[in-house]
Amino acid sequence: MHSFRISNEIILIKKIDKENIDKLLEWYVYDSDPYKYATGVIDKKTSILQLKSMLDSLNDEGNFLAGIYLSNSNVMIGMLKGSINFKKEPLLWINVFLIDKQYQNKGYGTSAVCMLFSFFKENYNISRSLISVSECNSKAISFWEKLGFKEYKRINEVSDSHGLNPAIVLSKNL
């Protein structure tokens, strides 16, 4: 697992502290908003399974899980999980990206993503990022498009508790 620490005057992205595991559970289990993720639509049962899978995958090379914290108070306001892959081209996949509802639309998510891109471009020579988003999650699609992502391809049979929901894979050259 890759571990890193990057910051600016607003936010800090770093390994999730043990005392913040409860916050992950709150976001994944107790929050009922299915559109809370900037990466898809998730129900409670899927959230618990995704959290377990996410934590299990941290030992895999290339994966990372990080908390997004306010710099001035060390309060965790979000999280992200992703992986880097060097097989064909240096590539950053963002698997999960979440900002707590009370901190959304204040620039924290945009700041975190821009910092992440800069870090991986400078330190790992990553040239492109991909993310998949549920086609139903128009707020997430808008967020990523404002950051310069473009539709790369569609996946028509992504199953969740709402049935089959197509997903869009978005791409951005860094």
Orientation of helix 138-146 relative to helix 108-124, angle to 10°? 50
Q: Is residue 31 part of a domain?
A: yes
* Closest listed residue to residue 142, CA positions, set 102, 163, 170, 114: 170
Decide which of 22 and 79 is more confident: 79
Q: Is residue 117 part of a domain?
A: yes
pLDDT for 156? 75
Q: What's this model's pTM, rounded to 2 decimal places?
A: 0.80
**CATH number of the domain enclosing 62:** 3.40.630.30
pLDDT tens-digit readout, 11-28: 999 988 777 777 776 776
Whole-number Cα distances in Å, 91 to 28, 127, 129, 156? 27, 6, 6, 23
Q: Is residue 129 part of a domain?
A: yes
Cβ neighbours for 2, distance < 8 A, ≥ 6 positions apart: 62, 63, 64, 84
Structural contact between residues 137 and 97, judged by C-beta atoms closer than 8 angstroms: no
pLDDT for 28? 62
pLDDT at 43 over 60: no
Q: Which of 14-18, 71-75, 146-150 has the highest mean pLDDT?
A: 146-150
| Domains identified in the chain, total number | 1
Q: Is residue 118 part of a domain?
A: yes
Domain that holds residue 152: 6-173
Q: Is residue 1 part of a domain?
A: no
Q: Is residue 84 part of a domain?
A: yes
